[in-house]
Amino acid sequence: MRRRPLDHGGVPPWRRITPDPVRTWRRRFLERGPGGLCDDPRPGVPRKITDADVERVIVKTLEETPKKATHWSTRSMAAATGTVRRRRTRGLLGI
């Protein structure tokens, strides 16, 4: 039985997703199942900020407020969590 090619349509245009990532996700899913939808390791220098660091900052942001302030700044969060301000900001933004 011949398999028909996958139709990559059906992605709503407002999602602004081109067919290329959809093909990649579908191929990974067929090859590896649901676990294939996770990102593959990226080339280059490994991340210096861990998932635990990101989780700690997010939890602190959502559940606490800084002393004498209404919201966290990058400086106050860096001081409270012991992370480097620039790395924390870039790491959380995914850049």
Condensed to tens digits (0 to 9), the pLDDT of residues 42-95 reads 788 877 777 888 888 888 888 998 888 888 887 888 888 877 665 555 555 454
The pLDDT assigned to 95 comes to 43
Q: Which residue has the tokens 């106050």?
A: 76
Residue 10 confidence (pLDDT) above 70: no
The pLDDT, as a whole number, for residue 14 is 67
Sequence-distant (≥ 6) Cβ neighbours of residue 26 within 8 angstroms: 6, 8
